[in-house]
Chains A and B, each alone.
Chain A
Amino acid sequence: MPDPMKIRATVVGEVAEVKVLMAHPMETGQRKDADGKLVPARFIISVQAHCNEREVLSADWGPSVSKNPFLAFRLRGVAKGDKISISWTDTAGESRTDEALVV
């Protein structure tokens, strides 16, 4: 089971800022380990964000998003107590969904 994401969603005025820190190695397939062997590629390819049931962001990624991806985006029409849910899927078919309430 992949490690959980950290999600912080705060609303100031009309705009909510959502910050996400994901735990993922984002291996490009070009890195060599200590023995000189290539580490196989493994990276997040798809990300979706929802606020309550509404999709508010969808992303397609390649291997050049940094390890332990950071992502921030901003939403309108969001209130304290709304639920933000973030999901990712990677090249190995693993996926993870985490949620947080807007504060």
Chain B
Amino acid sequence: MIMTRRNLLAGAGAFSAWLLLAAGGLLAGAVRAAIPRSAFDRATLDDIIKDLGGSGSSESGDIEMHVPEIAENGAVVPVEVTSKLANTRSIALIVSKNPHPLSASFQIPEGTEPYISTRIKVGETADIIALVKTDAGFFTSKRLVKVTLGGCGG
């Protein structure tokens, strides 16, 4: 193919588009991510919320949480969250004293109940925080979990 200026620009445009798609995780085989991975490196709730596109949160009595009061094994702590807030879009789980507090984030599309049950590692006695994103902003609820045997490693 003769390298004309038009060909070069068309090629550059296609490459840039490819880069954008790859960055957005939209290529087949690329890992899908609904939230930036940087959120998993943040040390505070507020910084996590910023990475999720928010600016602060309010506590809500409309988020139900079931966690054990005392976890004998911090490596496997069951957590159940049900959001009764209208237009719940995502539920995230944060452990206040873990080295990396954000544990998991779940996107809830229409047709899926705003309910999640899973098991997470809790390194030491800490608050487990449910962070719920709705169309009206970010809301939280928390429960203290006492840990007798820490769950994060050695």
A→B interface (CB under 8 Å): 15, 28, 30-32, 45-46, 48, 54-67, 69-77, 89
B→A interface (CB under 8 Å): 31-35, 37, 39-40, 75-78, 95, 98-100, 102-109, 111-113, 115-121, 151-154
Closest-by-CB residue of A relative to B77 is A66
Partner of A74, one of B99, B109, B115: B115
How far is B121's CA from A31's CA once the two chains are assembled, in angstroms?
13
Q: Are A28 and B35 in contact (CB under 8 A)?
A: no
Closest-by-CB residue of B relative to A78 is B111
Partner of B112, one of A62, A69, A73: A73
Which A residues lie within 8 Å of B35 (CB)? 60
Closest-by-CB residue of B relative to A59 is B106
> Closest CB of chain A to B35's CB: distance in Å?
5
How far is B32's CA from A62's CA once the two chains are assembled, in angstroms?
14
A-B contact list, 15 entries, CB within 8 Å: A28-B153, A32-B154, A46-B32, A54-B111, A57-B109, A60-B37, A64-B98, A65-B104, A65-B120, A71-B117, A73-B112, A73-B113, A74-B112, A75-B112, A89-B32
